[in-house]
Amino acid sequence: MATYVIALAEAARPDARAGAKAANLARLIDAGLPVPEGFVLGHDAFTAIVGDLGEIGLDDIGHRFAEAETRALAAALPPELEAAVRDRAAGLGRLAVRSSMGLEDGGAGAGAGVFVSAVDVAPAAVWDAIRAVWVGAFSPLVAAYARHRGAGIDGVGVIVQRFTPGRRVTVYTRAPGSPDDDRVWIERAGSDRVIAARADRDPVVALAIAAERAIGASRGADVELIEGPSALAIVQARPVIHPAPRAPRRPAPLALFGFTRATPAMTWRWDAAHNPAPLSPAQAGLVARVDAVGAATAPLQVVAGYLYYGEAAAATVAPATTASELIARVEDGLARAGSALIAGASLPEAIDQYVAWYRIWARDASAVLSATRRALLAALHDEPDPHRAFAALAAQGTAPVDNLTGALAAASDVSGDRTSAAAALGDWAPAWDVAVPTLAERPAWLHAALASRAARPRAHAPRPSTDPRADLAAAILALAERDDLAFAAAQAHVRRALLVAAAQLGVDPDDIAWLPLDELASAHAAHAIDPISARSRAAGARAAARRAQTWDMPLAVRDGAVVDPPISDGRLRGIGAGPRVVGPVALVDDLGALGDLPPGSIIVVPAVTPALALFAQGAIALVAEHGGALDHGAALARELGIPYVAGVRGALTALRTGDLVVVDGDAGTVQALTPG
């Protein structure tokens, strides 16, 4: 019996198999620190009741987890063990029942918030709580965490302690990412983080550092305390999991921007809103062709793969004054531009057609849309936030336009035609680059998005506005999506020609866009490109793009010098960690909505839960309106290497799905990029 029910003070014995959390508490007790009284059921107790599952490896996780969960719920309790646990629990009063698994609270990973705990449990319900902890050890969240860690499940322990009421205080004795830092992070439930010196005489700081020493966490400890009416108690202590050190981002060499000295009065801006990553050589070649003939309304320049544009004077295009006028003018421009794209074109023909399309698109359809948007925003200049007022108007207007939202809504209805949706939306790609496969090439992405959308409730239609500008605002937003669909079609037109050329030239289709566009356009079957050389050169181009991604590209440059953006330009602030990234916002109210988020999204949520941090590994950053840097979700985000900013008050109101933002985790800022 003593093998199964272990005094908490003895949980660090090698034969206890009680998990790192229990062992750390035993070390705290041995050091004379205040830890609530309790006992532990080690892995041997789990085996005696549920059965010996053996070590569950990565290849077994799926079906073995389901088997373990079933056993944990239904296994009969040995009478003597059941009675012993109930007797001990009754002597403790109200209980805290916590997990102590082999995967958590060790030096390799904390698993913050992954496993189950229950607090303020009645002694009579102790076995229900123990079973809940066991079942939680075999959840999908744990399975995903185990796979990420590359570890199996080799220990299932449960801690049963006297419940200590009071305010929870989380202390990091070293800042995450700074194991030599002499500052302590303190966060009391319901309050903001406070930073103190390690030498501070605050009893909370002193007790946390004593816990750090007791568990041997020389690089810092994550300590959870309870501030009771008259005393402090430690309920958890584990090593801080520091993010893996990353190479510092180097400023881009300013020599790359020597071309800006030819136009000293012009500001050149990084087109991060559309192209946050380096372009492939083929896409850069398209940019060069468009710029060479003056098809764009502003000069374009590719710098180390990144697209920059010069801020030229706005084209003198008269804005539309009504929704019907705007729809007619934009649709006419898009139709004329679309007529330049002829199916079945060779690569040289497709490139010329793209340039012809671009000239009409940029100077007619896109120009009138931009002019009308600027005019309406100017008319709203007396509003406290013209952009928000614009969005509110648009939400109350109607615009009969075939756009992306309408196509998705129609196709995701029960009677929706998924085939026609694939045809209508198949030209889309996750990035504006002809190197990136389209949805037509990967239809599973579109089908998953449609299925997820169909499962979600439809939003209620807003009350129509009496403001005559509402329909115009709605038309602007709807046509912006229609405009993007047209651009995607032009990109896909060139990509299809590239794939045909790849087959004719004997080049791997994955490599074709990573070769110079002019070389591809002048090549022909009789003078095919050597496939071995093509593979090598494409690999070199990809490596160059990866190197460029390590640079901190300036948002704006003028006359060879970096132009610092103003601080008061709409940045939201919080507390976070991680590098600066740029991407589109995806507002998420529940985890079920993650199924149709494209890779590369910046997920904005009310709070970062461990499940969100774990299952959102396709995201490039997490932003939370509530919570703090020491919450479980934030801790797990750090461990998984996902940049995050927490405590960004107002984020869900200020940002909308599709907004392009710059997230700087280390600075704790979220900055919206002003639409063009």
Higher-confidence position of 621 and 72: 621
Q: What mean pLDDT value characterizes the chain?
A: 81
Nearest partner of 366 among 298, 422, 412, judged by Cα: 298
Tell me, what's the pLDDT at 452?
45
Tokens at 287, concatenated: 């940019």
The pTM of this model reads 0.60
Of 193-197, 211-215, 408-412, the one with minimum mean pLDDT is: 408-412
Tell me, what's the pLDDT at 469?
86
pLDDT (mean) for 387-395: 73
Tell me, what's the pLDDT at 248?
62
Given a cut of 50, is residue 94 above it in pLDDT?
yes
**Using 50, 70 and 90 to split pLDDT, how confident is the model at 25?**
very high
In angstroms, the first-to-last Cα distance of the chain is 72
Residues 159-173: pLDDT tens digits? 999 999 999 999 999
**Using 50, 70 and 90 to split pLDDT, how confident is the model at 516?**
very high
CA-CA distance, 336 to 67, in Å (whole number)? 62
Residues 573-594: pLDDT tens digits? 888 777 888 778 888 765 544 5
Give CA angle at 88 (83, 94), nearest 5°: 115
Higher-confidence position of 102 and 449: 102
pLDDT (mean) for 192-208: 90
Tokens at 563, concatenated: 């132009």
Tell me, what's the pLDDT at 414?
43
Residues 439-485: pLDDT tens digits? 788 766 556 555 544 544 444 455 566 777 888 988 887 888 788 88
Residues 283-332: pLDDT tens digits? 999 999 999 999 999 999 999 999 999 987 766 789 999 999 999 999 99
Given a cut of 90, is residue 394 above it in pLDDT?
no
CATH pick for 565-672 out of 3.50.30.10, 3.100.10.10, 3.40.1190.10, 3.20.20.70: 3.50.30.10
Nearest partner of 282 among 538, 611, 581, 102, judged by Cα: 538
- DSSP output for 253-269: PGGGGGGGGGSTT-EEE
Residue type, 131: R
pLDDT (mean) for 255-267: 94
Higher-confidence position of 382 and 153: 382
Tokens at 9, concatenated: 């003070």
Tell me, what's the pLDDT at 153?
61
For the chain, the domains span 1-163, 167-241, 323-505, 565-672
Close Cβ partners of 23 (under 8 Å, ≥ 6 residues apart): 11, 12, 16
Tokens at 280, concatenated: 């492939």
Give CA angle at 324 (320, 325), nearest 5°: 35
Residues 356-388: pLDDT tens digits? 999 999 998 999 998 998 899 889 888 876 766
Q: What residues are paired with 584 via a beta bridge?
A: 660
Tell me, what's the pLDDT at 56?
57
pLDDT (mean) for 227-254: 82
Higher-confidence position of 210 and 404: 210
| Annotation: CATH topology of 1-163 | Dna Ligase; domain 1 (3.30.1490)
Residues 410-442: pLDDT tens digits? 554 544 455 655 566 778 776 789 998 887 887
Tell me, what's the pLDDT at 629?
60
Asked whether the beta carbons of 184 and 205 are under 8 A apart, the reply is yes
**Using 50, 70 and 90 to split pLDDT, how confident is the model at 540?**
very high
CA-CA distance, 61 to 148, in Å (whole number)? 12
Nearest partner of 428 among 410, 446, 412, 406, judged by Cα: 446
Element of type H or E holding 69: helix 61-74
pLDDT (mean) for 216-240: 91
Given a cut of 80, is residue 602 above it in pLDDT?
yes
Percent of the chain with pLDDT over 70: 76
Higher-confidence position of 47 and 618: 47
Given a cut of 80, is residue 202 above it in pLDDT?
yes
Residues 489-498: pLDDT tens digits? 999 999 999 9
